A and B are shown apart, each in its own frame.
Chain A
Amino acid sequence: MWIYEKKLEYPVRVYKNDIGMARLLMAQYGGPDSELSAAVRYLTQRYTMPTNKAKGLLTDIGTEEMAHWEIVATMIYKLVKGVPAKQLREAGLGAYFAEHDRAVYPADAAGMPWTAAYIQATGDPIADLHEDMAAEQKARATYEHLIQLTDDPGVKDTLRFLRQREVVHFQRFGEALNDVQALMDSKKFF
């Protein structure tokens, strides 16, 4: 089970409304390499991991990704807070507003709804952990792009935190992979 803590993992400061940036951040909220994909991917793959290290790590990183999903949602919520509907339309969010108003709906930057087709769970721990490491690198690259796309020092600060977490997750997944690999080698499957 999970128990909610009524706080963000890291503060979210937004100095001014920026509809365009809110839209771009949807990539990390409901896109293929989003925090939502990360959380569902890890929390799904953990059941078929062969080592306790990997089971623990996927559970704990999956949980942290949910906290990151909440941080990204908070940035989007604050970036469009109080913006009139007409301005949202002028900034290209007219179609989004018609369907969702200012709700933080899990879609990507182009409005495509989130889908489980973005993630994989093969039941093969080596394949899954490699996917996880690639996913962390893709998320890191996306955060680096997003940091270049905003001048808001608050948004930049939070994005840098999230970027750094992807680097740490990548490192830990690599260690879990080595451990699983050693176990597989010792069993000599083929």
Chain B
Amino acid sequence: MDKRLSMLKEIQALEFVAIELNLYLDTHPGDRAALRDFYTIRDKLFAAIECYEKTYGPLRVFGDAPSQYPWPWIEDPWPWEIEYK
């Protein structure tokens, strides 16, 4: 669970930066430096999510998690059940 949590926290950290840049770009669509940062972070975020989903199952129902039987989407823990340390 420790490895899983640290990967999840890395995804949360990357996605937070992406959200922050997303909102900034909504009102500054011509800011080249912010655009460059956004695409760099987005690539890192997708890589981190892909890596997480390969081992721990889908974070997104249409994501990159490998095909699996039975339907892995409903497996716990759900977000509110995770015990962070």
Contact = CB atoms under 8 A, between A and B. Distances in A.
A179 interface: yes
Residue with the greatest number of chain A CB neighbours at <10 A, chosen from B15, B16, B23: B23
Interface in A1-44: 3-13
Given A7-B8, A53-B27, A78 B79 contact: no
Contact of B78 (A6, A53, A168): A6
Instruction: Say what secondary structure dominates the interface of chain A.
Output: helix
A3 B63 CA distance: 10
A57 interface: yes
Instruction: Say what secondary structure dominates the interface of chain B.
Output: helix
A88 interface: no
Contact of B59 (A7, A169, A176): A7
A57 B27 CA distance: 7
Contacts of B24: 172
Which range holds the interface residue count of chain B?
20 to 34
Interface in B3-23: 8-9, 11-12, 15-16, 19-20, 22-23
B34 to A, nearest CB: 13
B27 A7 contact: no
Which range holds the interface residue count of chain A?
20 to 34
Contacts of A5: 59-60
A74 B26 contact: no
A78 B80 contact: yes
Interface of B: 8-9, 11-12, 15-16, 19-20, 22-24, 26-29, 58-62, 73, 78-80, 82, 84-85
Interface of A: 3-13, 53, 56-57, 60-61, 64, 70, 73-74, 77-78, 154, 168-169, 172, 175-176, 179
